[in-house]
Structure 1
Amino acid sequence: MQTPAKPVNQLFSKNFLNRLIWPLVAEQFLAMTIGACDTVMVSSVGEAGVSGVSLIDQLGQLVIQLFAAFATGGAVVASQYLGHKEQKKAQASAKQLLNLCVIAGVFFIAICLPLRRIILNGIFGALDPQVMDNALTYFVWILFSFPLLGIYNSCAALCRAMGNSKISLKVSLVMNLTNIAGNAILIYGAKIGVAGAGISTLVSRGIAAVVMLCILSQKKWPLFLEKIWKPQFYFTLMGRILKIAVPSGIENSVFHIGKTLVYSFMSTFGITVIAANAITNTVASFSNIPGNAIGLASVTIVGQCIGAGEKEQAKSYGRKIMLLSYGGMFVTAIVVFGLAPFVTKIFNLTPQAQNLAVLVIRACMVANIFFWPMSFTMPNILRGAGDAKYTMIISNISMWLFRVLGSFLISKWILRIYPGNTQFAFFGIWIGMFLDWIFRGIMFYVRFCGKKWLEKKVI
């Protein structure tokens, strides 16, 4: 007579997963919505002001990607220590994450502040004097906000690692509403232009950083920050965080650079294509919210499973995470697909640009349903186990081969067949992007089905 298999104690209940994932979905939606409102408010300062702000925001995205990489590394290490029941080391790694983000923020101030004009000239070339003046003004305030943003991002990652994403949601709400209120007062009321936008960003990030530090300094949290006024450096723990953060940072930065190159090439297709692409990206960002949120949650879930030595549970939860991601992306894609003609009317496009945007949005939504989760949620599952180098290599190969080179060659080929038809060529850009998604998805799925990602050592 066979002995019945011993039931496996599941590490996470459905209630835990709901408490982790749903606030992340709400936080992502909040950031997107208020970000759009922020753009509208800044646009009131005039074309030169908007141009200056947008240039600095492009540079700022690279710094944000760096903080996101640190946050991922810190969340993986802290989650695995929590799963391994080593709370002291988990707390120490939390403080190292905070140290890294603050040091990085101060480093950017020290390098960029005295060289800001040289940096802008080197990257963007000879700018219109008004645009340059606005960019320089905004750049100063944004630079001083980087350490504060680093503190907020690191603390938000630690909240996710503890499975308490409600904290970051509430603080994010305060930060974004403060930014909107500051813009209203300083741009509309005091009429100080882009300086007002920069000051409100600095103040809102400062408030968020202080609130987060006050919350995580309480001893009731598994990852409370002890003696935040006293720097403590544990280089072994820093090295473990950087083992995840460096590949993730390279991956994120290369992805941003690749997107910029594609936009640069596509900008030759004319204003109709540029407008249609901008709207498509905005709408697609909203539709990707469930997948992005579930991907962030997967780092905590898989990380704690690996830390607890529960490799089979890590794989099991990985499958559940992917089912949730596919379900969430299916719902949002269907909604956006149906509402695309109505949503695009909000942006006051020409009929030609609107029709083009609707076609591309709908094509994107079909691709979202089948390919996006495997391409972008799955790598977070692998990173949660510490398999960051593999995701970096595959993402870089796929970016340059398909999204950059592929979209360029496909668009050129279409233009040879249909000379002057830049709208057909525009579809070539998106075909290259979809091929990028398919290739990554296949490679990440093959990796997930194997065992190598479960054998990675982080702690």
Structure 2
Amino acid sequence: MREVNIIGPSMRRKTVFLLDKYLTGESLDYKKIFAIIIPVLVDQAFIILMSLLNTAMISSSGVAAVSAVSMVDSLNIFLINVFVAVATGGTVIVAQYKGSGNQEMVSKAASQAISAVAILSVFISAFVIIFHTPTLNLLFGQAEAEVFENARIFLIGSCISYPFIAVYQAVTGALRGVAETKACLGLSLIMNLTYLALNILLISVFDMGVMGLVISVITARVLGMFVSVIYLMKYNHTLRFHIKNALKLNFSILKKIMIIGIPFAAEQMFFNGGKLLTQTFIVQLGTLAITVNAISGSIGLLYQIGGNALSITIVTVVGQCIGQRNIADARKFVKSFIGISTVFFVIAAVILLPLFPLIVKLFAPPPEIVPSIFALTLLIAIAQPFLWSISFIMPSALRAAGDSNFTSLTSLLTMWVIRVVLGYVLGITFQFGIMGVWIAMVIEWGIRGSIFVWRFRGEKWYSRKLI
């Protein structure tokens, strides 16, 4: 017992020393950073596990259903990330005003971010619903008839839900800007638990397939929007949100939000447009290849739980540091987050690779595609610790400092010049199939991340003053 008493305090002192060294600065200390990270980490873990379970549940409706959902989800990600981009502009401005101590502008920035995202989402939703058939024909015209019909149902249902998820994203983005990630976690749990419960009921119990998924997603997102707005109006005292402030547009604040939001939105459109184009390569390879891609992608998300949480958190942390003009802290925290993310990926690989046989059984895939799923999973398990963090966490940090044009242009160029072109060459021309498409993706991570690291070593990334 005496030895334990000696070692215990010693280990605690070493731990506190390391936390002070890498996660404490003049702007924030490690306790505040952990208070931001942990709810986001739990939220990301829950969302990704939900995605895994939902894909597994829809797999019970057959290969055509899971292929259709996978195809439309790639389009959903493309469109929803446009809303998220504008919401991120709000997060950055809110975080910088919070760091500067200007509470009045924190409130105004939050209201304007919600207004901008809501208006944008209504226009996009209406446009896609009107032109859903030519959109699907353009992207997935070579898909089998049953897959195409399921995709049509899921796309229209998803579009109906866009304004609701957009407002929810804007509210949680503003809350993250003031580091209220516990509230974000609570709102996420309400929406996603509703989504999971309805999926179990409608897909697993009533066997409603894609239509059950549509009803679930609309209901959960409507609830998520109403709960988030009610929370903001009745229970949050930091953002001081009032509907009348959101209804009155302030173009001065909107301009600041759009300085971040528009380049990021353009990046997301073209970046995810590149992903959509690579999806059309996969469609050419047949329904089984689409299924391999969908299941491998869902499993791959498990590895990214820690990295995604840090990528979200770094916007708040760097935004508040830049608001105080504390560049040294911003640099320190970015380096620390990259290191922690790498550790997360290594731990994830060590835990998840041995569990692959159990995880893949959730999807009940045809036995002949299991080796392909494992090969793709192994590829990213090896590549992510080295390449993912610099490719995704680093640009989030640069964007939080106001360096949105450079990060967006870099992402666009590397996506279209490397991932799309190389993906076609390796996957279709050289007939490596889906493995070729994924190898191109990994190569693009490395090149894009290297450019961001080079930018971070200079001074231009924090030279633009937003507030």
TM-score of the two chains, using structure 2 as the length reference: 0.85
Match 2:281 to one of 244, 265, 271 = 265
Structure 1 residue aligned with 2:336: 320
* Equivalent-residue separation in structure 2 for 1:209 and 1:426 (angstroms): 37
* Equivalent-residue separation in structure 2 for 1:142 and 1:270 (angstroms): 24
Q: CA RMSD in A?
A: 2.9
1:447 aligns with 2:458: no
- Matches for 1:145-184 after TM superposition, within 5 Å: 145-184=161-200
* Equivalent-residue separation in structure 2 for 1:277 and 1:35 (angstroms): 14
1:295 aligns with 2:311: yes
Structure 1 residue aligned with 2:89: 73
Match 1:438 to one of 429, 433, 446 = 446
Greater relative contact order (CA < 8 Å, ≥ 6 in sequence): 2
TM-score of the two chains, using structure 1 as the length reference: 0.87
AA aligned to 2:36 is L
1:241 aligns with 2:257: yes
* Equivalent-residue separation in structure 2 for 1:295 and 1:439 (angstroms): 18
Structure 2 unpaired stretches of 5+: 1-23
Structure 2 residue aligned with 1:380: 396
Residues 174 and 208, structure 1, Cα contact 8 Å, conserved in 2: yes
AA aligned to 1:399 is M
- Matches for 1:383-422 after TM superposition, within 5 Å: 383-411=399-427, 415=430, 422=431
Residues 142 and 283, structure 2, Cα contact 8 Å, conserved in 1: no
Count of residue pairs brought into register by the alignment:
444
* Equivalent-residue separation in structure 2 for 1:343 and 1:72 (angstroms): 33
Match of 2:36, SS state, is helix
* Equivalent-residue separation in structure 1 for 2:423 and 2:219 (angstroms): 41
Structure 1 pair 446–272 and aligned structure 2 pair: CA distance change class (3 A):
same
C-alpha deviation, 1:110, in angstroms: 3.6
- Matches for 1:133-282 after TM superposition, within 5 Å: 135-187=151-203, 194-218=210-234, 220-228=236-244, 231-269=247-285, 274-282=290-298
Match 1:310 to one of 307, 326, 333 = 326
Structure 2 residue aligned with 1:3: none
Structure 1 unpaired stretches of 5+: 1-7, 416-421
398-407 vs 240-249, greater mean Cα deviation:
398-407
Aligned residues with identical type, % of pairs: 30
* Equivalent-residue separation in structure 2 for 1:187 and 1:434 (angstroms): 34
Instruction: Note the alpha carbon deviations across 1:390-415, whole angstroms, 9 max, x for none.
Output: 111111121122212223334567x4
* Equivalent-residue separation in structure 1 for 2:434 and 2:38 (angstroms): 35
AA aligned to 2:171 is C
Structure 1 pair 337–212 and aligned structure 2 pair: CA distance change class (3 A):
same
1:23 aligns with 2:43: no
365-374 vs 250-259, greater mean Cα deviation:
250-259
AA aligned to 1:259 is K
1:368 aligns with 2:384: yes
1:91 aligns with 2:107: yes
Instruction: Note the alpha carbon deviations across 1:154-209, whole angstroms, 9 max, x for none.
Output: 11111211112121212111111212333344456677664443233222111111
* Equivalent-residue separation in structure 1 for 2:407 and 2:389 (angstroms): 14
Structure 1 pair 366–235 and aligned structure 2 pair: CA distance change class (3 A):
same
* Equivalent-residue separation in structure 1 for 2:204 and 2:300 (angstroms): 30
Structure 1 pair 47–229 and aligned structure 2 pair: CA distance change class (3 A):
farther
* Equivalent-residue separation in structure 1 for 2:365 and 2:66 (angstroms): 19
* Equivalent-residue separation in structure 2 for 1:403 and 1:456 (angstroms): 30
Residues 303 and 385, structure 1, Cα contact 8 Å, conserved in 2: yes
Residues 244 and 388, structure 1, Cα contact 8 Å, conserved in 2: yes
Structure 1 residue aligned with 2:466: 458
Residues 336 and 365, structure 1, Cα contact 8 Å, conserved in 2: no
C-alpha deviation, 1:85, in angstroms: 1.0
C-alpha deviation, 1:337, in angstroms: 3.5
Residues 56 and 362, structure 2, Cα contact 8 Å, conserved in 1: no
Match 1:63 to one of 36, 54, 79 = 79
* Equivalent-residue separation in structure 1 for 2:435 and 2:207 (angstroms): 42
